[in-house]
Each structure stands twice: as C-alpha cells, then as structure tokens.
Structure 1
Amino acid sequence: MPRCDHCGSHVSDRFARVFTDEHGDLNACPDCSANAGIAEVSRERTHTGD
C-alpha cells in the first residue's frame, strides 16, 4: 500500500493515483492536511521542498 511522503501514513492506491505529482511523490494526505486542501498543500510542499 502506498504511503504519504510527508508523514508516512498509508493511503489507498486510488488516493495515490489521484494525488501523486509528476515525479511520483505524494506530498499530502488526510492525516497531515485538511481534506479540502490536499491538492493545494501538495503543490505548496512540492514547490517549497518541505
């Protein structure tokens, strides 16, 4: 099962397919960011390297 690269929590295969970036990184998940803002947080973490 895939994991969030930011916090290490398990996520579903479906979640990973939707939210991984072009490099295959999953920078946010429901455990480390608000559900409504996962895509935005993921983009911010990709650009800032946090």
Structure 2
Amino acid sequence: MPECNNCGEFVTDQYARVFAPPEIHGVRVCPNCEDKLRSGAEIREANAPRNNG
C-alpha cells in the first residue's frame, strides 16, 4: 500500500499515481500533512495555513 513518506499515513493508489514519480515508492506529502507542500524535490512549510478542520 502506498503511504506518505512524510507522515506515514495511507494514501490511495490513485493519489500516489498522480502525485508520486514512478521511481519513488509513496508520496512526499499528503493531504494529512498539515501546512506542508511539495516544492520541487523538497517539502516545505506552507506560506499560509490550510486550516483543515
């Protein structure tokens, strides 16, 4: 099962297919990673909070 490499949460196969390059197992950041974003090959803090919840 694919998982987020940042927080370890489960992500769907479809989410991983869209957001993870084929050579990487798992995604770098998922919707459960509060205030984190993908920025090129890195993960960074969001400039503005997502306010999930």
Which TM-score band applies after superposition, normalised by the shorter structure? 0.5 to 0.7
How high is the TM-score relative to the length of structure 1?
Answer: 0.61
Instruction: Return 5+ residue gaps in structure 2 as ranges.
Output: 44-53
Which protein has the larger Cα radius of gyration, Structure 1 or Structure 2?
2
Q: Percent identity?
A: 33
Q: Whose helix proportion is higher, 1 or 2?
A: 1
User: How many equivalent pairs are there?
Assistant: 42
How high is the TM-score relative to the length of structure 2?
Answer: 0.58
After the TM superposition, list the runs of 4 or more consecutive aligned residues in structure 1 that deviate by more than 4 angstroms.
Answer: none
Q: Whose strand proportion is higher, 1 or 2?
A: 2
Separation of aligned partners in 2, 1:33 and 1:16? 18
